């Protein structure tokens, strides 16, 4: 339900932010309330766009004064209904997108929350460095949103998630005070680590306005497309490759044969690099400062894996164009899956060692509910993170997926928990998984989270109802 | 002041833990109350040693029931008066030292809080993996203590600090409930990241009983001893090396010429690998799965650095024994520094880029207080972390260091803050730096920490008075 905004609050906000800093235009409000995937619909009485930390702090203070709830929003590319307002004032951070500082010798840069991931990657590159986070929506997703959701992507295996890539944060607290925790320090043991609390908090504990990010040396990659006969072989392959080339394995993605077929059928520019009847593909990247050595490592690891029977066939990209063609298949799976028809999508993780038994157990469990179910299972196997989708079997008589959505979701979650896994690996909680997680999380953890939320946001004005209900 | 323990509490604790689980023997209490460096003296009425998570939980519940404060203790190797009881019941975790599980394909192991770092390293090695945390006290320091203080050491540049190396935790909360957050998951976005809150909390938010640690591929290292003419050259050398060999630079330690002289004079087994009048040495390690390639990388990077005039001379260790001899010098600096005489020791960090100007500014500032001051400045320059010690100039007429301790500490802290640094890089806060940090930290951060402490430990029974006063 949309909040009724006190007119004194409205007047004060408009005065504070000026004409560029707010909008009540219905089409703008609608756009801010509609996520890109469009699977839920929010609403908001007002969108505000602070242009500076000072403005953001004054805005939050006004919200506190008038008891007005707000939802911070970056690129609105989230998938768990965390950044879409449902009646709250929408605080769009996109005007705060300045690159504040690059410190090459410290391998760090400070950038505002509304800058896109691509902007951060480009700023790093301009300094002769690498900012390694990489994911599909990088042209739209913002630094603040990526931190707030602790985003993952295709380089987590080597570089970690977004929380691992931040050195410092600037945050407007629910009180309207600014915590200047921007810092280029790699070591700073001076109390509870607040940045790790705001990272992944989905805007429920404060409004992130800027961040200092870690930069890395630039690397060159060698990319392989690998055919495997079983998920068990895929996990063993990962272990063999890491044993031989160390953590210069920067990406290790699993792709099922049916996803390749789907993409090739749906995307005119895609072709199967190596047709095969085997059920699995691995897209693997090995990176070193010396690209030729990366290729040598990759070749020798694959040769050893073939000798051990873990790999049926493999192709190493001979050009950047070919590597991009491999990645194009991986990256268009989500898109072409939608063209394929209805799907129930889950973003889950289990320990890497359990991936083979999990897939078998989960598919069997889903088929007890819907015997005609088919599966598209792909993702970051190196992190134990699978995007697990249930789809209608091709040619199924009548679409039944939606009818069984609740029961299917339940057996998936139960199977994930039985394998020591997580029902939200990288997408987050938001409103979408809040109640399910209150059921599945250890009660002691939920209680601690509620206590923290109440302690830092006693009025409950920061993105209420996301992560935990209080 | 020592707490008077209610006799009903004492009886219940003794009954709970059995004869092996507690002691009131004066010599045992004294040992537990005396840190290894002996710069402060604590006291305790009772030492308890739970043997299981169940016992630990019941113990904490009893403490809550009777309002008894406790201080968790691991190896008692901390440096900031965090784990030494000052009247509290001392909860020694050393009986809980089991290796619970190794998961090779998941690159993780689960081990109890009282196990030593060496035990964890050895368990990893037995699985053909690496647990990379490494520091001087690793034979005594425990996993629980290392997590609680977010320990650093000599491999942070490549692998991060202790908090970066944990996948999950098991913690007894102040309520006596157990949060089973043990997990082998690399991705788990299901709410606020509690493990990052307990890591570095120095036992003030809960009692860590076990942890799941991240393992890495094993590597071989090439080690160099390098002579540099200035701190500026050292920082430029780091940048050049990382640009050429990527983050296969696993250690990058700075050592001043006077520390080498000190060690050589004091430690019979130490000799200067490469005598020189230049002021700085760098001890550098490059690691790859293929040790020969690591050596090739190191050689070519050093050749390039010599060409650019950043390095005056360098020796690459030709055997493991020689590499160990290099490291022996680095590792015995703290020991021989004490033999050298009184010293004021600080564990500080600044952005790596500012190290040269910081050293110059800080030395000058200290000399405004004590013109005869001399300095021993060494440490993890790759992380911006210096162990900065002020010593009496050799042959100084009368020792004056102690008389000026307060004023010297103040100018050091002010200089650190002026350079965007931290007055506790890796050692922590404890009681030692609590009040100074309440002065130097942004007030908004201290307020947030207090709110968190009160929310999670409303009775104030978990290691009170460390990190923040409430």
- For A293-316, write each residue's pLDDT tens digit: 999 999 999 999 999 999 999 999
Give the integer Cα–Cα distance in Å for B283 and B303.
16
The model's confidence at residue A4, banded by pLDDT at 50, 70 and 90, is confident
Q: Is A277 at the interface with chain B, CB within 8 A?
A: no
Best CA proximity match to B238, nearest among A378, A101, A290, A106: A106
List, for residues B207-227, the tens digit of each pLDDT value: 999 999 999 999 999 999 999
If you measure CA to CA, which chain A residue comes closest to B427?
A: A189
Give the integer Cα–Cα distance in Å for A111 and B240.
25
pLDDT at A36 exceeding the cut of 90:
no
The model's confidence at residue B2, banded by pLDDT at 50, 70 and 90, is low
Candidate CATH numbers 3.40.50.970, 3.20.20.450, 3.30.43.10, 3.30.70.20; the one for domain B7-92: 3.30.43.10
Q: Percentage helix, strand, coil, to 5, in chain A?
A: 40, 20, 40
The answer to whether B46 and B33 are in contact (CB under 8 A) is no
- If you average pLDDT over every residue of chain A, what do you get? 95
**Is the CB of A193 less than 8 angstroms away from the CB of B163?**
yes
* DSSP H or E segment with residue A291: helix A291-307
Q: Is A424 at the interface with chain B, CB within 8 A?
A: yes
**Cα torsion for A76, A428, A408, A258, to the nearest 10°?**
70
Label the pairing between strands B249-256 and B207-214.
Answer: unpaired
Domain boundaries defined on chain A:
7-92, 99-217, 219-338, 341-431+438-455
Average pLDDT over residues B414-439: 96
Which residues make Cβ contacts (< 8 Å) with residue B423, sequence separation at least 6? A190, B346, B348, B412, B413, B416, B417, B433, B436, B437, B440
In chain B, how many H helices and how many E strands? Answer: 15, 18
Average pLDDT over residues A34-49: 90
The model's confidence at residue B28, banded by pLDDT at 50, 70 and 90, is very high
Q: Is A224 at the interface with chain B, CB within 8 A?
A: no
Strand partners, B12: none
Q: For the stretch B213-236, what's the b/e string if a residue is b when 16 or more beta carbons lie within 10 angstroms of its beta carbon?
A: bbbbbbbbbbbbbbbbbebbbbbb
Assign domain B341-429 to its CATH architecture: 2-Layer Sandwich (3.30)
Give the integer Cα–Cα distance in Å for A66 and B397.
67
Give the integer Cα–Cα distance in Å for B93 and B49.
6
B219-333 and B341-429 have identical folds = yes
Topology (CATH level 3) of domain A341-431+438-455 = Alpha-Beta Plaits (3.30.70)
Q: Is B128 at the interface with chain A, CB within 8 A?
A: yes
Topology (CATH level 3) of domain A219-338 = Alpha-Beta Plaits (3.30.70)
Give the integer Cα–Cα distance in Å for A184 and A110.
8
Q: Is A176 at the interface with chain B, CB within 8 A?
A: no
Give the integer Cα–Cα distance in Å for B59 and A216.
46
**Is the CB of A188 less than 8 angstroms away from the CB of B349?**
yes
Which of A387, A448, A459 to mutate to probe the B interface, most B CBs <10 Å? A448
The model's confidence at residue B36, banded by pLDDT at 50, 70 and 90, is confident
Which residues make Cβ contacts (< 8 Å) with residue B152, sequence separation at least 6? A187, A189, B135, B161, B162, B380, B383, B385, B425, B426
From B440's Cα to the closest Cα of chain A, the distance in A is 10
Average pLDDT over residues B305-315: 98
Give the integer Cα–Cα distance in Å for B286 and B240.
13
- Residues of B (286-305) whose Cβ lies below 8 Å from A: 288-289, 293
**Is the CB of B191 less than 8 angstroms away from the CB of A446?**
yes
Q: Which residue has the higher pLDDT, B2 or A450?
A: A450
Topology (CATH level 3) of domain A99-217 = 3.30.465
Query: According to the CATH classification, is domain B219-333 in 3.10.20.30?
Result: no
Give the integer Cα–Cα distance in Å for A175 and A126.
37
Q: Is B439 at the interface with chain A, CB within 8 A?
A: no
SS3 A207: strand
What ipTM was reported for this prediction?
Answer: 0.96
Best CA proximity match to B294, nearest among B353, B219, B232, B231: B219
pLDDT at A240 exceeding the cut of 90:
yes
């Amino acid at each position: 339900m949309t909040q009724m905004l006190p007119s004194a609050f409205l007047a004060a906000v408009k005065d504070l932010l000026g004409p560029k800093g707010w909008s009540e235009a219905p089409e703008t409000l609608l756009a801010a309330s509609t996520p890109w995937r469009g699977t839920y619909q929010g609403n908001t009485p007002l969108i505000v766009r602070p242009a500076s930390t000072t403005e953001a702090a004054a805005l939050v203070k006004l919200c506190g004064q008038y008891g007005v709830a707000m939802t911070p929003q970056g690129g609105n590319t989230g998938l768990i209904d965390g950044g879409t307002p449902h009646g709250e004032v929408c605080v769009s951070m996109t005007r705060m997108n300045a690159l504040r500082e690059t410190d090459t010798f410290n391998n760090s840069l400070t950038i505002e929350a509304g800058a896109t991931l691509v902007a951060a990657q480009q700023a790093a590159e301009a300094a002769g460095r690498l900012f390694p986070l990489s994911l599909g929506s990088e042209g739209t997703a913002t630094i603040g949103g990526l931190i707030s959701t602790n985003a993952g992507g295709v380089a987590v295996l080597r570089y970690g998630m977004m929380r691992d890539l931040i050195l410092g944060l600037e945050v407007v607290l629910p009180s309207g005070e600014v915590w200047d925790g921007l810092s280029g320090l790699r070591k700073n043991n001076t109390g509870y680590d607040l940045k790790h609390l705001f990272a992944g908090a989905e805007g429920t504990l404060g409004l992130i306005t800027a961040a200092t990010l870690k930069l890395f040396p630039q690397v060159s990659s060698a990319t392989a497309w690998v055919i495997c006969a079983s998920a068990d072989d895929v996990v063993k392959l990962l272990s063999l490759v890491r044993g031989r080339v160390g953590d210069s394995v920067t990406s290790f993605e699993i792709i099922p044969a049916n996803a390749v077929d789907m993409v090739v059928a749906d995307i005119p520019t895609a072709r199967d690099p190596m047709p095969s009847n085997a059920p699995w593909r691995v897209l693997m990247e090995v990176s070193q400062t010396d690209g030729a050595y990366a290729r040598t490592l990759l070749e020798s690891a694959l040769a050893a894996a073939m000798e051990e029977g873990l790999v049926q066939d493999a192709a190493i990209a001979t050009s950047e164009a070919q590597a991009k063609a491999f990645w194009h298949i991986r990256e268009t799976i989500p898109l072409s899956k939608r063209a394929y028809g209805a799907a129930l999508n889950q973003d889950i993780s289990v320990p890497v060692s359990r991936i083979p038994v999990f897939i078998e157990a989960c598919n069997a469990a889903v088929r007890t509910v819907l015997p005609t179910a088919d599966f598209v299972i792909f993702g970051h196997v190196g992190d134990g993170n699978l995007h697990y989708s249930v789809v209608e079997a091709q040619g199924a008589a009548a679409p039944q997926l939606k009818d069984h959505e609740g029961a299917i979701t339940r057996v998936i979650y139960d199977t994930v928990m039985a394998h020591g896994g997580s029902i939200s690996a990288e997408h987050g909680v938001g409103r979408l998984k809040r109640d399910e997680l209150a059921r599945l999380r250890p009660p002691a953890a939920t209680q601690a989270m509620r206590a923290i939320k109440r302690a830092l946001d006693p009025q409950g004005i920061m993105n209420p109802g996301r992560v935990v209900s209080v």
